[in-house]
Amino acid sequence: MATKQSSGGVQSVERAFHLLEVIAAADGEISLSALSQSVDLPLPTIHRLLRTLVTPGYVRQLPNRAYVLGPRLIWLGESATRQLGPTGRPVLQRLADELGESANMAALDGQMIVYVGQVQSSRSMRMFTEVGRRAYPHATGVGKAILAGMPDSEVEKIVRATGMPQPTPKSAATFDELLKRLEVVREQGYAIDEEEQELGVRCYSMAVPGEHSRIAISVSGPSSRVDTAFGERAVPLLRDAAAQLSREMGLEQSVNA
């Protein structure tokens, strides 16, 4: 029978999710012995939790007895991603209303950025990004905002998998160049797409806080309007919006943990 922790959570459920996170962090497969070293649980408890996760397909055991994440999680992840847009729309609408430019939400899906929400500017000349469109993270403001929250080793794995094509001549062409740009993002707390995805379009972006959020929001428009003065107004609003989304999505807990 599951026991409850003082925080009000069900202990066995929390332990099961912790096992899933450890398996995910292994970036491949992980042995039972490695799992036991990563979590402070008795081996029989780990066995029991893994059996519970294997049966419905959330975890899969390989022929070599190692464990990997199961295919059932793909469906859950896709469903969660689809819900990001409707959840974030009120926040995006406020950004678009206050700044007069298009507001976007995107998530890292595998190694690519996928746009999950947008509220368009009411202006005739505006930035339009189709929801569901995929883009390379190294060449987008939202992508750089997300990558900046990762260790360089994880960033390298992503760009090795995707390559580094240049949508425009202003896109980063090498890994070293990308790292320099990400260091700037880390220092200032936000990213700028300086016509790296589309010539004539500039974008200010900020990651939604949360240890594993992999979500970012942005405001974008023609470079003639989205300039330094625009950025000075946009950054505080983006910061407030990102913090609000973190709270509403329950990601704030992982920041404060």
* Model pLDDT, residue 128: 59
Q: Which is more confident, 241 or 14?
A: 241
Q: Which is more confident, 81 or 191?
A: 191
Task: Judge if 11-73 and 85-249 fold alike in CATH terms.
Answer: no
Query: Cα separation of 201 and 165, whole Å?
Result: 18
The answer to whether 99 touches 237, Cβ cutoff 8 Å, is yes
Residue ranges covered by each domain of the chain: 11-73, 85-249
* pTM reported for the whole predicted model: 0.74
Most confident of 35-49, 143-157, 241-255: 143-157
pLDDT digits (tens, 9 = 90+) for 165-214: 999 999 999 999 999 999 999 999 999 999 999 999 999 999 999 877 89
Mean predicted confidence (pLDDT) in 235-243: 96
Q: Is 65's pLDDT higher than 70?
A: yes
- Identify the band that residue 12 occupies on the pLDDT scale cut at 50, 70 and 90: confident
* Model pLDDT, residue 3: 39
Query: Cα separation of 99 and 220, whole Å?
Result: 10
* Model pLDDT, residue 36: 86
* Model pLDDT, residue 126: 53
The three-class DSSP label of residue 68 is: strand
Q: Give the C-alpha distances (Å, rounded to integers) separating 92 from 58, 163, 177, 219, 239.
A: 33, 31, 31, 9, 12
Mean predicted confidence (pLDDT) in 115-137: 79
CATH topology of domain 11-73: Arc Repressor Mutant, subunit A (1.10.10)
Q: Is 5's pLDDT higher than 70?
A: no
- Identify the band that residue 69 occupies on the pLDDT scale cut at 50, 70 and 90: confident
CATH architecture of 85-249: 2-Layer Sandwich (3.30)
Mean predicted confidence (pLDDT) in 26-40: 84
> What's the mean pLDDT when you consider all of the chain?
86
Mean predicted confidence (pLDDT) in 230-240: 96
Residue in the structure block whose two tokens are 């996170």: 21
Structure tokens at 30: 């992980």
* Model pLDDT, residue 100: 93
